[in-house]
Amino acid sequence: MNPELSRPLRLDQIGAGESKVEVRAEPEERAALARRFGIVAVDRLEAAFTLHKDASGVIARGHVSGSVVQACVVTDEPLPVRVEEDVAIRFVPEPADGAAGEDEHELSGDELDTIFYTGGTVDLGEAAAETLALGLDPYPRSPNAAAVLREAGVISEEEARKKAEASGPFGRLAALKDKLGKN
């Protein structure tokens, strides 16, 4: 797989101290990312990373910033969205036995996301692209979405719950009690 936004950094270019690296997506890369993520457009994608090596790999901390256009899942209206995500990643070598994804667990606030690499490079462009994708709302809704849904006869979860309660045995008894009380 060739990432749409590839910024490989050779491990031997990361010195003993901290290294700073900036990533900025070009127009053709942004268009390819929009297609990959199924969104209308990626207008801007930038990232700034501070890197340093430790015993287990390379630590990258920084910030990913982007401006995208998503389509409302109800109305298909274009929705401009800003993505601002802090990032903390540990790049580690791919395990030789291929067991990279077998031990998944929830990360606490002080742990780093892990990205495996092969060879002598880490890809900061792909890390920025993945961070942008994770920052997107999977079900974006425009301000008009609720009205459009209501017009189409779709009711909210709260309305559905109330309707279910009213049509259940206790709801029918309450309705009968109301009728008897009014007579």
> pLDDT per residue over 71-119, tens digit each?
998 888 999 999 999 999 999 988 877 555 555 544 444 578 899 988 8
pLDDT band at 62 (very low <50, low <70, confident <90, very high): very high
pLDDT tens, 155-179?
Answer: 767 776 776 676 767 666 666 677 7
Distance separating alpha carbons of residues 62 and 21, to the nearest angstrom: 9
Mean pLDDT of the chain: 84
Its pTM stands at: 0.75
> What is the structure's pLDDT at 110?
57
Decide if 4 contacts 43 (C-beta within 8 A).
no
Distance separating alpha carbons of residues 65 and 44, to the nearest angstrom: 8
What's the token pair of residue 16?
């003993």
What's the token pair of residue 180?
């008897």
Distance separating alpha carbons of residues 127 and 115, to the nearest angstrom: 8
Decide if 156 contacts 163 (C-beta within 8 A).
no
Q: Which phi and psi angles does 180 have, rounded to 5°? A: -65, -35
